[in-house]
Structure 1
């Protein structure tokens, strides 16, 4: 058996174990190495009650893998000279807290200091469908606290920042976030099955998501219900479409090579240091965790996680949302891309296989 065939068989075995051990209802795997024909494997059920099995055209919630799309959309607007990474937030949203200091670059790299809205106090008038509503920044601007640290000095993962980026895309492009993604990313990439999840636009291609309760004989339960997080995590897609996105990005069909390299490299804080684990923000009473032995470096670029794991450079993004866990990995050295999407939320068994899965992907050649 060829080395890649062996590793793909080992990855396949890991995911099959999730299904047979009832740790995930269903899953889909996509792997592409260089420009070879992609490998797509499906597992388990898209809908348990209907006994509908997962197929290659099923759309999963991709959660925070939405962020690379949002970031690339912003970079396309930069390429078209419709905005600049140095533009400050007050250019778009006058009187926004720290708006004269926070830049588009800092929103992209999670160095703005803006907290997650669900970890802060939102104003009483915030609609229940936030952030799938209009004028999201009006509610975010009244959030308390408005900042965790001075902009550009530290890193703290901010879904709120990516919601603001989605609204900036709409303001600058003059069309909806979804329509801009369609024009700027989906069409050039040949992506035909990626869309924003909204109430009322359900499709038979949508996979059902499940919560997880290990104390039950049938552990798959109704997941938590909440509004989709818009440009921070609201897309649905297929494994094939996500592979097409990375391929188009690397073929410079969406943005220039220079902008792509910026997205897939460590961002910088104001003092010139990389946005990595040494720059992570932690509350004063929180003990900084030690990184695992297999992780040499971990940080963030512009819409992508950037890391050194198992002595290999990896560009990645994960996602977790009600009923779903997702992972995208790209290995620049081998031009290998791996997509894994499962339709069972936390805790499930996704975390049980992550280390072995990532190691096997870094060994593709």
Structure 2
């Protein structure tokens, strides 16, 4: 397969598309928002420790400025002056960040980010807006204001992990303009955990953010079914008709066929706001079969929606509640759940033509096939659990990892034998997102991609990344 390159907005076009705005969060006061309190000084600490600044931070028109070199180095960046570019170059976690004194523009791997103020020069040192510097270095900022002094505490990037073994993979992500979160592990050791690209206006993706996981949801649905099998609540040869008596040809469609995409059911279902699981199932019921059951592999989102309905009928619980009680809580997956407006996830983007990207609208799916969110850390815990019996018995896992068609699809996973190693993997897509997950069983490499650009070929990305690893 060929790799399709997806470019983020070049130069200032990104901001023309999204609209320019302030980088300041409410935690950092604007002059207009602080009319009742005049700030005269800023005290900046690192991890709560006092810093002996050579050039002191200052506040100018409501914006806190810090010396670029001193602050960046204390946050773990390497800083050099690039005479040819007339700019300071910062290197951190594989990213190249440029800033030219007297402007409000930073670039991160060539992508622009606007600060809330223009950098200034004092005593030969360049001072830049603190919030912008923290953003490009992905540092955390805490602010408290007392007695006319702003107390700011900086914490170096707490989430990104890079290593020499994954340096070539990191360069691949940057060259391919990958956008989203990526994790690479060897056994239990994380070699790379990093965010790429934008997460909304003037904000970068951070490695610990939540994201929609699209069809990686199917691995949870399949495991929930197998858990019910273990409990004796259903059987794989149960028919669809035993749960939905009036479903066309339901007496010939088994749970096994639904799990393995051999049911013949029309793969598409309506995606409308507020449509319930039962209403979606009724819409699926109204469509004729695409092919005869057990005659051909047809990847079917509808089949996994039906499985969500069966999980609810067999368990007597809502789909998400059953997953929470039987999978997420036992594994400690506290950052995984059903997507809803109250749970923030990284911003998804869709193509706006000519290599431009625009914020995506709502990503509508249905239980069973694409409704979940998670983090790369939770997904690593999840895929690693299949080499234990924390959730399922190994006999059940072996059934999930058995191919049942020429497409090498098991239950919620694709399976491939490569050089004597079993690799299980899946990809997913939805409005604004493209995801992928792969693991070599027995202590090999795990690759997890939670991308926030529609249309990225994550299967190719995972294949190309693996080629570049030792």
- Normalising by structure 1, we get a TM-score of 0.78
* Structure 1 residue aligned with 2:327: 185
The one of the two structures with greater contact order (alpha-carbon pairs below 8 A, sep at least 6) is: 1
Equivalent residues in 2 for 1:95-244, closer than 5 Å: 95-118=246-269, 128-129=272-273, 132-143=276-287, 146-198=288-340, 201-204=341-344, 206-215=345-354, 219-223=356-360, 225=362, 227-244=364-381
Tell me which moved more, 179-188 or 328-337. 328-337
* Alignment check: 8 A CA contact 1:188 1:248 kept: no
Distance 1:52 1:179, change over 3 A: same
* Structure 2 residue aligned with 1:264: 401
* Alignment check: 8 A CA contact 2:163 2:192 kept: no
* Of 315, 331, 335, the match for 2:444: 335
How many angstroms does 1:38 deviate by? 6.1
User: For the residues of structure 2 that align with 1:79 and 1:335, how far apart are their CA atoms?
Assistant: 28
Mark the runs of 5 or more structure 1 residues left unpaired by the alignment: 268-274, 278-298
How many angstroms does 1:359 deviate by? 4.3
How many angstroms does 1:8 deviate by? 1.8
Distance 1:242 1:46, change over 3 A: same
User: For the residues of structure 2 that align with 1:140 and 1:319, how far apart are their CA atoms?
Assistant: 21
Instruction: Give SS of 1:46's match.
Output: coil
User: For the residues of structure 2 that align with 1:38 and 1:81, how far apart are their CA atoms?
Assistant: 40
* Alignment check: 8 A CA contact 1:131 1:230 kept: no
* Alignment check: 8 A CA contact 1:31 1:38 kept: yes
* Alignment check: 8 A CA contact 2:400 2:411 kept: yes
How many angstroms does 1:163 deviate by? 0.2
* Structure 2 residue aligned with 1:324: 433
* Of 61, 70, 73, the match for 2:212: 61
User: For the residues of structure 1 that align with 2:290 and 2:417, how far apart are their CA atoms?
Assistant: 27
* Of 82, 98, 104, the match for 2:233: 82
* Alignment check: 8 A CA contact 1:29 1:40 kept: yes
* Alignment check: 8 A CA contact 2:211 2:373 kept: yes
- Please tell me whether residue 32 in structure 1 is matched to residue 189 in structure 2: no
- Please tell me whether residue 14 in structure 1 is matched to residue 172 in structure 2: yes
* Structure 1 residue aligned with 2:140: none
* Alignment check: 8 A CA contact 1:7 1:360 kept: no
> Which deviations, in whole Å up to 9, do the C-alpha atoms of 1:293-347 show, x marking residues without a partner?
xxxxxx200110112468854210000100011010011254321101111112x
* Alignment check: 8 A CA contact 2:434 2:452 kept: yes
* Alignment check: 8 A CA contact 1:116 1:160 kept: yes
Instruction: Give SS of 1:134's match.
Output: helix
* Structure 2 residue aligned with 1:361: 466
User: For the residues of structure 1 that align with 2:166 and 2:464, how far apart are their CA atoms?
Assistant: 12
* Alignment check: 8 A CA contact 1:163 1:230 kept: yes
* Alignment check: 8 A CA contact 2:436 2:449 kept: yes
User: For the residues of structure 1 that align with 2:229 and 2:449, how far apart are their CA atoms?
Assistant: 30
How many angstroms does 1:213 deviate by? 3.2
Instruction: Give SS of 1:339's match.
Output: strand
Number of corresponding residues: 309
Mark the runs of 5 or more structure 2 residues left unpaired by the alignment: 1-161
Determine which structure has the larger strand proportion and give its number. 2
